[in-house]
Structure formats: structure tokens, C-alpha cells
Amino acid sequence: MKRAVLVALAALPLISVVACKKETATPPSGPAQAGVPPPPPPYQMRPEAPAGDRLAAGRDGKALFEYHCGYCHLVGGMGTNLLTKQQVMAGASPEMGLLANRTDLTADYVTAVVRLGKNAMPPQTRVDITDPELDSVSAYLGKGK
Amino acid sequence: MKLTLPPRVSPQQFDTALQAMARVVGKDWVMASDADRDAYADVYAPGPAEQWPASAAVAPASVEEIRAIVRLANEHKTPLWPVARGKNLGYGTSAPRMAGTIVLDLGRMDRILELDPRLAYCVVEPGVGFFDLYEHIQREKAPLWISVPGNAWGSVLGNALEHGIGYTPYGLHARNLCGIEAVLPDGDVMRTGLGGMDNNPAWHVFPMGYGPTWDLAFSQSNLGIVTKAGLWLQPAPAASLELVFDIPEAEDIGWVVDTITPLKISGLIEQNVFVPSWLGKMVLKGQRKDFWDKPSAIPDWRIKELLKQYKLGYWQVALRLYGEESVIKAKAEIVKAAMARNLKDPPQENWWREGDPINAFEITMGVPSAVPLQMSDWIGGRGAHMGFSPVVPATGEHVLGQMRRSRKIIADFDIDFYASFTINGRFANNVNMLMFDRDDPGQIDTMRKLFSTLIGETAKAGYGEYRTHLGWMDSVMDTYGFNDHALRRFNEKVKDALDPNGILAPGKQGVWPSAYRDSAKEGRA
């Protein structure tokens, strides 16, 4: 849990970091200056494609989420960046930008957003993520009651 | 989305065709519900997505399944629109040009068949995405880099076949293709180049072959379905240096191009040099309404304020050198001296050496990211974008002319100007990014008129687009008018010879088979 929070906090300044990175000259050596954003996070590898029949029920929702949704929803991802901003503006803590940390999502909501899309997120086809895979992911993310 | 049938196919015939296809791929991989049709629609359609409706999607898992589906498509006259991963965002996503075409989704064919670190190439299937290939290379610890487009969610082969561009020394993605396997419109399968022999080990390293060379005939093409291809990769360099120059004024793009192009052609600069205008940075800082709360274009005085406040130039050149450190240092001195002829401020310098971490946003180091898609949040709502993408010779004269023309037209429509030039050698790709709210009919109408005006006026000046959205594929092909449209006539002759039933991607890039030429007037934006 501690690690998850640290990782999530690292995601907070992402938006400004992405935007400012090429604008703020950092001296080649010397101490970090106050107000200079920290460097962007390293690339976060997704797990390997989870083994098994893509049409089988009951596979590992966490692994499926990280593999199929990780393009955008891991640390530094496009979805994480936008959701972090939204969550902070709504008064939530920045680590809630990571879907895996959310406790207010329901399985039905996750399924609907994946299939219908929402704002910047395009709808996902059943080749992107099959129905049984989505069931597992929705069960994993849907921690809300 | 409601069902739109292919032309001249009855509901019963369509159902029979889908059932036959389900016997090939399994019923779960034939997707024909209203929700499926929505998922395969153009999420950024400039107008109703119903203008380019797929009737269904079918997802084969092997070359043999593709061949069987193609034979069935011929038998039942149900045309197919092949997509690799279907992420051609801004150009139509996975939606077909002709209403009722069945999307042939190759996303399940996602094997990396070969990775050769010694000769620096791989062989991949169309469903392999940039993230997949990048991560495979990391796991294998292979000393190879890939080249990625701005948004790297899509397919490596799909992007190369659509003539996508990246920002490394291997940034001209179609040029990296070497040796293609393709299923032809009659269900036959062929291999290009030395692949025409059985088991020739040089298939993916010799780019020509014996006799006519067909690799690129399958790019932006409806002559075959690419099922695997060789792709050249960049050997990982020992070091790299990024030189970041902020360029103050819009008109400076002329000398920037005249400075960089000779260095690129000579080989001193190896990468494709990306030069985005200021708005490319601003879109990541927030939403448009945070900076300008009126629907009208951001006026020049406000742009000046924003550039000052955020310490931005009108353009930014983030130029990267690759190789041995001593060589990079020597090259950097030459680049800096050349830029200093017109720019007094020295560049920011960012060194990377083998073993240093690479952050998640280094597109010029071949790290895949979808973060540039954040620009869809700039306008808000279901943000959408289209790129108007003409190609010009890489000289100050041509680039300035192109910039002034686009800028004036876009200003006349009261739209923000967001352009980039990518210097690829002797030519520059200009992308004019147009962002809009899909749910605002007024904006859609303006965008459609603006896009058509840009195509027309740019063609009058003598230039053409290298890639376009479904709704303008015919308009752009119309601009290729030499000798009574000899190019289109040739394309259509070849198309009809190889695909007499016209079942493969009718209308792709404005090339129509005779079987469906009567549909060419529909689906134009």
C-alpha cells in the first residue's frame, strides 16, 4: 500500500511536468532547485499477456487490467494524467487518478465506460478486451458497493 | 448503431455470410451487435459516426482463417475492411470507407515472430502494438530501439502501412518495412521480395527482391491483407543528446528548415526533426477555456501573453543526436553553430548515456506513449481531432508558403492554428491539427468546410496530402489529377484485375473497384 501511494503521488505533477520539461533549464550539476519539477516517471512496463483462453471466465482481473488497460491507466498514462487532474479538482487525493486505487467504482460502471467510452476514452471493442476479460477487470476495479 | 447492410446484400444473405464466418473464427469473434458496431465506429468522426458504419466485425486468428474469410466474402459479396488494431485515430479509427463493409480486425494476430539483435530487425503480425514490441525488446534485453508515432496505442505494422511517421532515425515507418506476407483478394497468399523463395534467410534484410518490388503496393492499399512483415529497428546507441531550441516567431520556421535540412540530408542529423508550434505544448497544460474563454480563435495579443507567461517560443525544435559520445559532441558543435547564425540563445542540453533511465515521454527515444492524446481534453467534451497533412519540399520557401497559406485559411475560419513540420530529409510533413467538440454541430460544420477548403487551396498551390480521413479520401485522390487522373485509373485497373468482386476495402484512399464505384459519391464529408 505504501508503495502504491508513493507511485500515485509521483503521478500528481505529471501534467505540468510533461508540459514544462523542455522549458526549464536545469543546471547540469548542482543541487535541485526549489520549484523545479521532479523528472517524469520512468516507463512502467505492463505484465506479459496473461495466459489462458481469452474467452474463459474467472481469469486474474488485476493482470488483465494492467495488460489491456495499462497503455493509459498505469503511472504516467494518458488516462491517469487526466483522471488525476479531475480527481484533484473534485477534492480527492491525487492517487485516485490511478483506477486501481479507486474505491468508488462499481463493476457495472467500469463495464459501461469501457464499452461506451467516456470523454477522451474511446470505446473498447471485444478484440481489445473480451466480455469475460472485462468481467474480470470490472470485478477487480469495482470495489464500490 | 443500427445495422447498415453492404450494397445489394439482403438481410438473409448477410446473416448467412456471418454464420459461415462464425464457423471459421468461432461465434465469439463475429461481432455484430449494435454495441459492437458502435465500438467499431469512428470515435472522432467529423459528424455523425453513422456516415461510415460497419455492419459487423470479424476477428481471425491466423493466416488460414483470413484466407477462409476472404473466400467467404467473395462468395457472399460482403466486402471487408482490414484493420490491424483499429487505432487510426483522426483518420477514421477502424471505421470503413463504404457503409456496410465488415471490419476485419486483425488484433488477435499479435505474435512477435522474430527479433534479430544482430541485424536489427523483427518480424511481426499486424496485431502487435508499439507497447507490445517495446516491452518485448526490454524483456529480451535486446540492444534495439523502435520508432513510435505521437500516439503509440496502435499497431506497428498498421502505422507503417498507413505511412505513419516517428521522430527517430527510423521515423519514416514505411521505409522500415522489408518483406511482406499478404493474403490477396481471391484468398491466395504471397510473399514479397526474397520471400518469393521458400525459406530464404535474407527475406527481411534485402529491401528489393527480383523483378518488380511490391512491398509498398500493400501500403495505404486495398490490394491485400498484410499478415506479417519484417521491420528494421534502430541499434541502441551508446549515448544521446537532446538540444532544445525555442524559436521565437512564426516566420522563423523558414530559416529553421533551411538550417536543419542540409544537416539531415548529409546524415549529420539522423532523426526526423519534429517542429511543433506552441499550442502543442499548451494542450498539455489544461483546457482551452483555462487560457481563452471565448469560442473565437485565440487572438495574437493573447498568444504573445501566453508565450511570455509560459516561457515558450512560437516553435520548439527538440533535436536529438544518437551514437558514440565523442561523435555526438562533434555533431552538436556543428548544429549549434548553424542555429546560432539566427538564434542568440543557446539550446538546453539533455544528455543520456547507456544505462541511464529513460522516462515515459521520450518519443524521440522510441518510448511508446498515448499521452499526446491528452490534447483531446483541450476542447473538452468528447474531444476529437483531425490532421490536415500536406507534404512540401524541405526548404524555407516552400515551408513558409505552406504555413502562411494554412494559417490564413484557418484564421479566416476563426480557428486556432496548431501546426507542426517534421523535417524528414528532402521533404517536410506539415500537420495542421484541428481540434473540435464532436457534440457541437456548429463546430463540426465549420471543421468540414475548413478541411475541404484546405485541401482545395493547398492543391491549387501544387501540394497534396499524404494521408487523410475517410470522409476526404476521394477529395484528396481527386487532387492527383495529372493526365486525367492517370494515377487513379491505374490504381483502379490493378484493383479490378486483382479483386474482381471488389471485396477488399472498397474506396480505400479513393480507389474504388468497379463493383462498388457507384458508392463513391456517398460517405464524403
The confidence band for B382, taking pLDDT boundaries of 50, 70 and 90, is: confident
**Residue B352 is placed in which grid cell?**
543520456
CB contact under 8 A, B285 and A71: no
| Chosen from A7, A23, A43 to mutate, greatest number of chain B CBs within 10 A | A43
Please list, residue by residue across B308-333, b when 16 or more beta carbons sit within 10 angstroms of its beta carbon and e when fewer do: eeeebbbbbbbbbbbbebeebeebbe
Q: What is the CATH number of the domain that holds A111?
A: 1.10.760.10
For cell 466474402, name the residue: B73
Domain made up of B239-467: CATH architecture = 3-Layer(aba) Sandwich (3.40)
Q: Which of A26, A114, A125 to mutate to test the interface with B (most CBs of B within 10 A)?
A: A125
What is the fold of B11-105? 3.30.43
The count of structural domains within chain A is 1
Looking at the partner chain, which of A19, A40, A77 has a beta carbon nearest the beta carbon of B370?
A77
- Alpha-carbon gap: A131 to the closest alpha carbon of chain B (Å): 9
Read off the pLDDT of residues B282-321 as tens digits, 9 standing for 90 and up: 888 888 999 999 999 999 999 999 999 999 999 999 999 9
Query: What secondary structure, in 3-state letters, does B211-237 show?
Result: CCCCHHHHCCCCCCEEEEEEEECEECC
In angstroms, the first-to-last Cα distance of chain B is 19
C-alpha span between B303 and B250 (Å, rounded): 11
Mean per-residue pLDDT over chain B, rounded: 96
Does A47 map to a domain? no
Backbone phi, then psi, for B386, in 5-degree steps? -140, 150
What is this model's ipTM? 0.94
Predicted confidence at residue A7, as pLDDT, reads 35
B374 shares contact with chain A (CB less than 8 Å): yes
Residues B473-519, CATH architecture: Orthogonal Bundle (1.10)
pLDDT digits (tens, 9 = 90+) for B197-252: 999 999 999 999 999 999 999 999 999 999 999 999 999 999 999 999 999 999 99
Say which of A18, A127, A128 has its CB closest to residue B371: A18
Facing B377 at nearest CB: one of A43, A45, A120: A120
Q: Is residue A35 part of a domain?
A: no
**Per-residue pLDDT averaged across B341-364, rounded?**
95
Minimal Cα distance from A132: which residue of B? B28
Q: Name the band, by pLDDT with cuts 50, 70 and 90, for residue B439.
A: confident
pLDDT value of residue A145? 62
Residue A123 included in any domain = yes
B226, β-bridge pairs: B182
Q: Where are the domains of chain B?
A: 11-105, 112-235, 239-467, 473-519
B285 at interface of A, judged by CB pairs closer than 8 A = yes
Give the structural domain span for A137.
2-22+58-141
The answer as to whether A30 is a domain residue is no
Has residue A69 been placed in a domain? Answer: yes
Q: What is the pLDDT of residue A18?
A: 36
Instruction: Note whether residue A49 is domain-resident.
Output: no
What's the CATH class of domain B112-235?
alpha beta
pLDDT band per the 50, 70, 90 thresholds, residue A33: very low
- Is A122 domain-assigned? yes
Q: How many whole angstroms separate alpha carbon B153 and alpha carbon B130? A: 7
Residue A3 is predicted with a pLDDT of 38
Beta bridge partners, B504, equal: B80
